Structure 1
Amino acid sequence: MRNTKRSRTCAVAALGAALTGVVLTAPSAAAATDNYIQFDHKAGSLIDTCYQWQGPDGIEKKNYCQHDRPIGTSWKAYFPAGATGVTATVYWTGGSQPLYINEPDKNHCYRLEGTLVSGIHVLRENC
């Protein structure tokens, strides 16, 4: 009986240690402050981009917009420390497109193409 209790206790302790090891080695989903979202503007309209960061309480204070970006320009928005994702919305005259990004641990690049007549397109591309 004593050996059975000792075996169970050891098994529970080993399982707990194994699970703890898994939790401690899991990769972090938070952003590094050098990761970014980049836009390359080739579309026929002025563009605004707005960012609503997801993460711990208080991160919403880091939300902002970039206004009136002209054709032929590129710009970046860097993930704030602790961000776990973002809704980046691209606005143009008469339309918008939200981008839901849940991988803050890498860079994200987009190209804006089209015209107001043919439609503005937000295209994902490799960074």
Structure 2
Amino acid sequence: MNQPAPRFIAPTVVALAVLAVALAGLGGMVVGDRIYPLFGAGVLVCQGMLLVFEIILSGLVSRRAMFGLAAGHGGLMAACASLFFLPGSGLPTLLGSTAGGAVLGAVCFWWYEVRHSILFDR
């Protein structure tokens, strides 16, 4: 279970996260333009690839570390959504949505753990 993660995962995850935030911010700056949906598609591709790495890491790290991964991914998703859909709303909105996304990500993973333990651990 607690095996070391492959070395290529950390730089790739950081690059995808930075690219997702950058695309969300750029998409928020061109609201209403013809290329607005392309930035949204770029954010979704980056988030999907991050989810793939989270699935890969789920077999390598402990359950406690998975709570952190789920919270981090939820916070990143909420930050990207705030930058993309609520441009110009300010720093408190960005920080609040990021914190709310992190909490929601952790709660969703906890709910998964509860369901999994009820169904499969007898």
* TM-score between both structures, scaled by the size of structure 1: 0.29
Q: Of Structure 1 and Structure 2, which has the larger fraction of its residues in helix?
A: 2
* TM-score between both structures, scaled by the size of structure 2: 0.30
